[in-house]
C-alpha cells in the first residue's frame, strides 16, 4: 500500500535525544520566579511534571499531561505575573541547547514533500504551541509540515487513538496510507500500529523506568538515523 503521509514525533525524533538534568532546568525557572525558594520550587515542578508523564503512561494516553500552565497552578505560581513570564523565558532558554533539529530533517522533509507525501508532527508535550512553532521556525522547517498537533492542547496523548485519528483526519489520509516515525515503542509505534499505520522506530532514547515497559512491540522498520526514513518509505512505495 502506498504511503501518502509521514507523521513525526518531535523530541527524540525530529530533535535528537539528550539526557538532561530536569531539576536543573526547572531551577532556571524557579531562580527567577522565587530565588528564595529556588531549590524547593524546582523540585516541586519536576515532581509534578513526572507525575503527569507517569499518569499518561499508566492510562495508555487516555489522560494526557495537560499544559504547563496547569502544572504551574498546582504549585501556586501566579501565571499572570510579569515575573512568571520572565522566569518562563529563562526556562525555555535552558532547553534551547537540547532542542535543535536533527541535521537530516530538512532534506528528508523536502524529499518527502517533493514526492507528494504529506507531513505532520504529533508530539506529547506540555509546552505551548507557540514555543514549539518558534523552535521549528528557528531551525527552518516549520513551513515543511502540513499539520501540527501538540497534546498540550488535547485531553489525551499518545498512544491514545484519538490523537492519531485527529492527524489522519487533518491530513485526509487513512491509517494504512501513513507511516509514523518515533523513538518510543509504547507511545509512538504501538499507538500508530493500533490504528493501522506503519511504525518506524528511532532507537536512541533512554526512558525512565516509569515510562517504559516490555510490550513486545515490533516496529515495521528501524531507522538508525532520521535520514534513513526516506529509504524506508521509498522501499514501501517501490521507488
Q: Respond yes or no on whether the N-terminal peptide bond of residue 159 is cis (omega within 30° of 0).
A: yes
Question: What pLDDT digit, counting tens, does each position of 66-81 carry?
Answer: 999 999 999 999 999 9
Domain residue spans in the chain?
5-16+100-236, 22-97
| pLDDT at 127 exceeding the cut of 80 | yes
Residues belonging to the chain: 239
pLDDT confidence bin for 239, thresholds 50/70/90: confident
Question: What pLDDT digit, counting tens, does each position of 100-117 carry?
Answer: 999 999 999 999 999 999
Question: What pLDDT digit, counting tens, does each position of 170-229 carry?
Answer: 999 999 999 999 999 989 999 999 999 999 999 876 666 555 555 688 999 999 999 999
Percent of residues, the chain, with pLDDT higher than 70: 95
CA distance 187 to 215: 11
CATH topology of domain 5-16+100-236: Rossmann fold (3.40.50)
CA distance 31 to 42: 8
| pLDDT at 151 exceeding the cut of 90 | yes
**48 sits in which H/E element:** helix 38-58
Query: Residue 196 in contact with residue 173, Cβ under 8 Å?
Result: no
Per-residue pLDDT averaged across 53-67, rounded?
94
- Confidence at residue 1, expressed as pLDDT on a 0 to 100 scale: 74
- Confidence at residue 207, expressed as pLDDT on a 0 to 100 scale: 65
Amino acid at each position: 500500500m502506498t504511503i501518502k503521509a509521514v507523521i513525526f514525533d518531535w523530541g527524540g525524533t525530529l530533535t535528537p535525544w539528550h539526557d538532561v538534568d530536569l531539576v536543573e532546568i526547572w531551577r532556571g525557572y524557579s531562580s527567577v520566579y522565587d530565588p528564595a525558594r529556588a531549590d524547593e520550587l524546582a523540585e516541586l515542578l519536576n515532581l509534578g511534571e513526572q507525575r503527569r508523564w507517569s499518569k499518561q503512561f499508566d492510562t495508555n494516553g487516555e489522560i494526557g499531561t495537560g499544559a504547563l500552565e496547569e502544572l504551574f497552578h498546582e504549585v501556586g505560581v501566579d501565571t499572570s505575573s510579569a515575573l512568571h513570564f520572565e522566569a518562563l523565558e529563562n526556562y525555555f532558554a535552558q532547553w534551547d541547547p537540547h532542542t535543535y533539529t536533527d541535521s537530516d530533517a530538512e532534506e528528508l522533509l523536502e524529499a518527502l514533500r517533493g514526492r507528494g507525501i504529506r507531513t505532520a508532527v504529533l508530539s506529547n508535550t506540555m509546552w505551548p504551541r507557540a514555543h514549539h512553532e518558534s523552535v521549528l521556525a528557528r531551525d527552518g522547517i516549520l513551513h515543511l509540515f502540513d499539520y501540527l498537533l501538540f497534546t498540550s492542547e488535547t485531553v489525551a496523548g499518545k498512544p491514545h487513538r484519538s490523537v492519531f485519528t485527529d492527524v489522519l483526519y487533518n491530513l485526509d489520509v487513512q491509517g494504512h496510507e501513513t507511516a509514523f516515525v518515533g523513538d518510543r515503542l509504547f507511545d509512538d509505534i504501538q499507538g500508530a500500529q493500533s490504528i493501522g499505520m506503519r511504525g518506524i522506530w528511532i532507537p536512541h532514547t533512554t526512558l525512565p523506568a516509569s515510562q517504559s515497559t516490555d510490550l513486545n512491540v515490533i516496529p515495521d522498520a528501524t531507522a538508525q538515523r532520521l535520514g534513513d526514513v526516506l529509504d524506508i518509505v521509498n522501499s514501501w512505495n517501490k521507488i
